[in-house]
A and B are shown apart, each in its own frame.
Chain A
Amino acid sequence: AQRVTQPEKLLSVFKGAPVELKCNYSYSGSPELFWYVQYSRQRLQLLLRHISRESIKGFTADLNKGETSFHLKKPFAQEEDSAMYYCALMGSSNTGKLIFGQGTTLQVKP
């Protein structure tokens, strides 16, 4: 069964500090992993996907198959990064099923 776990409901850091939002998954095959973000008063939107191996708004995420993790990182947090972040998984069985974790609220303090 597919499962995504985000262990932290709230992560609070000061501006300029490093950020790491944790995501662990459970899946027997090779999944696709994503991070979605919801800024205040905006729609939930895609931030990045592991297959693109890109950096968006300074955020990166590396898929670690050994640890079944896909943590989201940024070296220096900005106040505008404050938002709700969701990790998501789509299994390799090609069902198209996309499931999300519980979400982590990132609060960047000035």
Chain B
Amino acid sequence: GAGVSQTPSNKVTEKGKYVELRCDPISGHTALYWYRQSLGQGPEFLIYFQGTGAADDSGLPNDRFFAVRPEGSVSTLKIQRTERGDSAVYLCASSLGLAADTQYFGPGTRLTVL
């Protein structure tokens, strides 16, 4: 079946602009996660959804970052007033929802802020 998909694959924007990154999880997966990966580093947790609600948003770096999942499937990560330091690969993952489950990752969106 289809895996996790993310769009766009690449996004170049100017400092100060607003961007939206989209994630389509595997069908039937109730848990959805966003991570951010800087060059040469492992991914860092941003936010976790169980269904429509954000169960843990402790990894969001500041209030410029926001994520939604209104119908419990597709999620959008929103970044306001982008800064050069926001440049990274943003990864989305989904799982069936239990702690023991494997997280399946999408290909990521590479965000470049000029």
Partners in one complex: no
User: What is the interface of chain B, defined by CB distance below 8 A to chain A?
Assistant: none
